Amino acid sequence: MTELSLSQRLKAQRIYFILAALFITSLVVSNLIFQKFFSWDFFGIYTFKISVGILPYPITFLITDIVSEIYGKKRANQVVTTGIFASVFSLLIIWVAASVPALTDSPINDKLFLKVFGNSAIAVFASMMAYLLAQYIDIQIFHFWKRLTKGKHLWLRNNFSTFLSQFVDTFSVLFLLCSFEILPWGIFTELLISGFLFKVLIAALDTPMLYAAVFAMRKYFNLTPTKELEI
């Protein structure tokens, strides 16, 4: 750990809260929009067929890697746990909203509302189970490589931890959604491959962003590769 001045401590707390807010927003939104699917032709090499709910997911893993690197394992786990509670709370809000009858001239009637949000409870449950497992695996592997490399080779622990955890997350959530008949088993393999490859691609592409964030924070807070902030 490293000693901080009062101004540095306040700055570190603000950054931590901003990262946590971005993490929670990305996690909650991904659970609400998952029922829309689209295809993306990646320069003619491969056509991804994925849910729009997968789009915010790489952001969450980037954030937990930043928090893990700068603030430590305990703070990273706290962000993940807080995100799960936020997801559960969002379910409560949806349940209350669905239980209130819509007006006759309401732009969104009860049937349409339930069609969009009706599967959110199962989706959030599946997402939480898969996400908890994947994020905790990601954090454990990240810190294993950090100890092994003595704080060097950030790209190694960023990508290796994310690759394995993203496969666990993608497989688990699709398995649960298909088991609950939210998605048909016929598209399981296709969505698994597309989802995993998409997450791996984004994880590789966000490595420079991770390096930039870690470099800037280490410089500002005078951190060595093996030091972490205590706030």
pLDDT digits (tens, 9 = 90+) for 150-205: 777 777 777 777 777 778 888 888 888 788 877 889 989 988 898 888 888 887 88
- Residue 127 and residue 226: Cα distance in Å, rounded? 33
Global pTM? 0.81
Convert the pLDDT of each residue in 11-38 to its tens digit.
Answer: 999 999 999 999 999 988 887 887 788 8
- Residue 156: both structure tokens together: 């190694």
pLDDT digits (tens, 9 = 90+) for 104-133: 999 999 988 888 877 666 666 777 777 777
What was the pLDDT predicted at 12?
Answer: 93
Query: Cα separation of 156 and 159, whole Å?
Result: 6
